[in-house]
Amino acid sequence: MVGAITIGFAIFNVFENPKSGIKFIIGAVALIIILSISFGFSNTSLDENEEVIAGSQLVEAGIYTLNALSIFALLVIVSAEAKRILKF
């Protein structure tokens, strides 16, 4: 429900402010790409028959996505601080 409302406001924002809307679209596409790459890396097998519990592969992909986004956020923060320090 919250996701649908967020997407609805983002679509409304594209019409109100196209420049800001393009940033949202780029971010959403990047997140989808990272999630699909993470889903490809996840290979959860839970028993001797290599059967996977429904949803566990998606959870593992979510964990990989969280890790990737956390590392990316950390790099952005460090680079912003380095840029600020070197500016003086």
List pLDDT tens digits, range 33-67.
888 888 777 776 666 666 666 667 778 888 888 88
Q: What is the pLDDT of residue 46?
A: 62
Q: What is the pLDDT of residue 6?
A: 75
Tally: H helices and E strands in the chain = 3, 0
Of 69, 87, 22, nearest in space to 10 by CA: 22
Residue 76's region, left for phi above 0, alpha for psi from -120 to 50, else beta, is alpha
> Residue 42 has which token pair?
């996840």
Taking a C-beta distance cutoff of 8 angstroms, is the pair 58, 39 a contact? yes
- For the stretch 13-30, pLDDT in tens is 778 777 777 777 787 788
Report the chain's mean pLDDT, rounded to a whole number: 79
